[in-house]
Amino acid sequence: MTTAPQTSLEKLLARLVDRKPMRSEATLQADVRQLLLEGGLNLDENDLSVDLETQVGDGRRIDVEIGFTAIECKRDLRGAKVLKDAEKQLEGYVRARAEQVGQRYVGILTDGADWRAYALSGSAFVQAGRFEVKPRRTTPLELLVWLEGVLATAEGIKPTPDVIKGRLGAGSVSHGIDYTTLSALYAENKDLPTVQLKRELWARLLRSALGAQFEDNDELFIEHTLLVNTAGIIAHSVLGYDVRQIPPATLVLGQLFEQAGIHGVVESDFFGWVIEVEGGEEFVRTTARRLSRYDWANVEHDVLKVLYESVIAPETRKKQGEYYTPDWLAEKMVSDVLTDPLNQRALDPSCGSGTFLFHAVRRYLTAAEADGRPLRDALDAVSDHVAGIDLHPVAVALARVTYLLAIGRDRLTSDERGEIRVPVYLGDSVQWQQRTDLIDHGYLVIRTETGGLLDYQNELRFSEHLLEDARGFDRLVNELADRAASPSRKKGTRPPLTSLFNVLAIQDPDDQDEINAAFRILCELVDEDRNHIWSYYVRNLARPMWLSMADNRVDVLIGNPPWLSYRHMPKDMQKRFKEMCQSRGLWRGDEVATHQDLSGLFIARAVQQYLAEGGQFAFVVPNPVLDRPYWSGFRAGDYPDPNEPVRVEFTGSWDLRRLRPHFFPRGSAVVFGRRMAAGVGAAARGNDAVPLSKDTERWTGKIPVTAHDWAQVRGWVTREAAELKYVGEDLISSPYRSRFWQGATIVPRVLFFVEEQEAGPLGLGSGRVRVRSARSSTEKKPWKDLPDQEGVVEKQFVRPVLLGESVLPYRLLPPRKAVLPIEGSNTLMDGGHEHIERYPDLAKWWRGAEELWLENRSSERLTLLDQLEFRRKLSMQLPGTPLRVVYGASGMHVSAVLVDTPSVIIEHGLYWGTVKSREEGMYLCAILNTPALTEVVRPLMSYGKDERHVDKAVWQLPIPEFDPANPGHQRLAKLGAAEAARIAALELDETKNFVKLRQVVRSVIATSPDAEELDDLVRLLLE
């Protein structure tokens, strides 16, 4: 998009945002028209004019009209009534124009500073986007880019990742308009049987893929529908089709691909319902017009990954564990593993949007051209050399188009090419229910549903040997579905399949009987208006079985498996996951079940089913795979499944947790290996598994967000050899390990933590205090939405509490206050509620808290006291002891302090332990607060994005018990006391955020005159 000289546009923008009372609407209209004409919006190329006062009928006039957009101008939209009246006026124009032109029509309402886009959503008129001009901060180009998203006038836009995110992502006005329109279509038609069926199958697959993380809601189904149809339109554009001239049904169903000899790209799937409902074709036609503006011929990245991540809300992707691999990492992994692309067959068994496929296809075609192979041969062979599977239907649709983008328009449109098959399949790579759901006694079994229930009487069954000819099987299923849905077939009838059997050379009578039975079911589904999907469903679910046959296994497995935690799996998946892990030596016990992750089992299963002996693999994995104890079974490389034992030789790893910015919500790594040859007894000798080595390659560096290629990234990354430290293994634990405990679980805070209130003019009497809930911005639902608790309680039950944020190195911030039912060394409910009734004010407060707890708790197993006393973390602190060392349970650095107030209660954000003397306390504080300790313990800490969960990791180090007779221990205690005195003397604004205060204290520690000696002493102690 080219623009007029910035100075003239800046002056024009300054006039537009100036809401002077004397400015007329006619002046504003003229300025808007001038902005459109001078803004480089390609109006001439599109034969579009900018018209003022266009007549609509009934004497009404549109202020400014351009293409399929009406712009209504008002002097000032800041008044609620003015805005409401203007919206009603604009709605009338848009409805009238949409009816007149037979196209989707949108509206813009503006006063020059406030720009609002609107679209029709059924009977509603909905705001689909808004842009507010900030005086002296917003540039004319920013406003023009927003306007272009509404007007869709630019041509030849290069679809870089940043452009895709800005112009098509969820925050763009273009997406807002499309989503608004599609939502209305779905709301009007969601009760149709064909729409219901596709929605049910979509939900079933995603529930299987994502477990409890999947939330079945209309909004996600609509977003997925928009994404898949967008991908289909892009696929046509890649081939050079003018998508504005193609009938919408053809775009959605992909007949042009079949005619062009390109198979498996766009077909009727879960999201083809759009063209089956009234208004759907108009939606597809308008979406195609918007997407035709981009130059899809030359794409250098997996841009559909960017589109997906830009459209699906971050919180939704986080819940579903959907984080796609950066292009630069996929590119590097492919180049390192696919070393002989012309002779290696590669599979990504969890291909997502196709990032690894993109780079593997590019690598294969580049090698074929360098080898002088004819284009026809190269394109025919690439589908046998690079393939993908995913259980997410949206991922499959995007990956298929990504595969085309990798091939490129020049090759696809060349007269030299032959037929092309895109080998990306919808399927379950783990095959959770392989013996009871898909394969049953030599048959592929697909169960249909009636009314949401499995219908075992109407199973689609195909002999397993029919799958051996993949292309023949696809053709068979397509023919059956087409014949069942043929308009010439009368309802209730089933024409003979003799001609089909002859064409496909199916002579076995048993095969013919089974195919006839499947055809009968497909005909019945059509008669019930429940077809349109089964051909797609059957062919895709069959493909993993075909690839798992011994002769079809691949030489390279590469990708990023699903990272789905055990705690987020539904109950039936948890049961199956545990069984499959136990049989392969991957299960580490129920006590760490919540930490266990699907990715390890996924890799073991993928190697077992798809990787040939001697074949290589490379997978992106959660970083705990490298060193956490609950991954030791996976690291061993020996997976003794009774059906087909698997042994692997791990050949290396990359530790990526120290790269910034983080590209996943958790630290990541890459593991490499190969499958060992099978054998039993003597034949197995020499083929033993080779565990993952402690030797790794550690990557550090800060990568620019604009870097997408490995060539751009490599200069920002430092790669060095390092040795991993296995957490909980090969370490001499400290004797302090058994002396420290986590604090009490005093949550939800709204029920316990309070602020004291004024007693009032009459006072409260001796020993009583008025309190009110102390609220926090970190509260979560449902507790954040509850009203404050207020009341009067006996003062003895308002106890000081230390939270994680209360502790700085060597220094405490003021404790919080909480109402806790503690008397002496017991809680008042130890013997039942009769004890608490001796204190009527506390009893009333507790009853109110219990009532709120019962109404809002997530687990019915726990009472409020059970929650407070979880694992006796409260009563273990009673009665309080004179000297305790406490340290933070989490944080990038360890922070510890000596506490000498017996009455204070320690909350679960801290760990505490009793010490015998002040010297012992200072000894421990000196060790724990030293930067050297944090450096040594960091690799042992559990982590999400960073190593920040200290917990008991410090006691896995050989920290000896304090010995008063040891000069080194005495020296550490003395230096710790000196540091504590320095920190106590600091003037700190204790109202500031504790993170900032910790940074200040650590900077003082780092520059302390004792810093170097402390560091040396701690390192010597730990060695």
CA separation for the pair 987, 1001 (Å, rounded): 11
Sign of CA dihedral 833, 838, 839, 840: positive
Tokens of 575: 């049961």
pLDDT at 145: 87
Torsion on CA atoms 917, 920, 924, 930, rounded to nearest 10: 110
pLDDT at 74: 93
CA separation for the pair 864, 542 (Å, rounded): 51
CA separation for the pair 957, 954 (Å, rounded): 6
Using a pLDDT cut of 70, give the percent of the chain over it: 89
Q: Is the distance from CB of 418 to CB of 376 less than 8 angstroms?
A: yes
For residue 249, how far is the Cα from the chain centroid? 32
Which residues does 528 contact at the CB level (< 8 Å), separation at least 6? 193
Tokens of 674: 């190969």
pLDDT at 849: 92
Q: 488-502 in b/e burial notation, b at 16+ Cβ within 10 A?
A: eeeeeeeeebeebbe
Q: Is the distance from CB of 286 to CB of 107 less than 8 angstroms?
A: no
Angle at 197 between CA 193 and CA 198, to 5 degrees: 120
Tokens of 905: 């209660």
pLDDT at 590: 66
pLDDT at 965: 94
- Residues 113-143 have pLDDT tens digits of 999 999 887 778 889 889 999 888 889 988 9
Angle at 368 between CA 366 and CA 371, to 5 degrees: 110
Which amino acid, one-letter code, is at 565? S
Nearest to 609 by CA among 545, 694, 655: 545
First to last CA, the chain: 63
- Residues 839-864 have pLDDT tens digits of 999 999 999 999 999 988 877 778 88
For residue 998, how far is the Cα from the chain centroid? 32
pLDDT at 215: 73
Q: Is the distance from CB of 302 to CB of 353 less than 8 angstroms?
A: yes
Tell me which DSSP letter residue 467 carries.
G
Does domain 6-155 sit in CATH 3.40.1350? no
Environment class of 512 (CB within 10 Å of its CB; exposed 0-12, middle 13-18, buried 19+): middle
Question: Which helix or strand (DSSP H or E) is residue 923 part of?
Answer: helix 918-929
* Under-70 pLDDT residues of the chain: 1-6, 44-48, 208-213, 268, 301-302, 311-323, 431-443, 447-458, 470-471, 529-537, 539-542, 590-592, 594, 679-686, 727-732, 829-834, 942-948, 1023
CA separation for the pair 445, 427 (Å, rounded): 14
User: What residue segments make up the domains of the chain, in order of their start?
Assistant: 6-155, 181-426, 434-549, 561-676+686-723, 739-1022
pLDDT at 452: 41
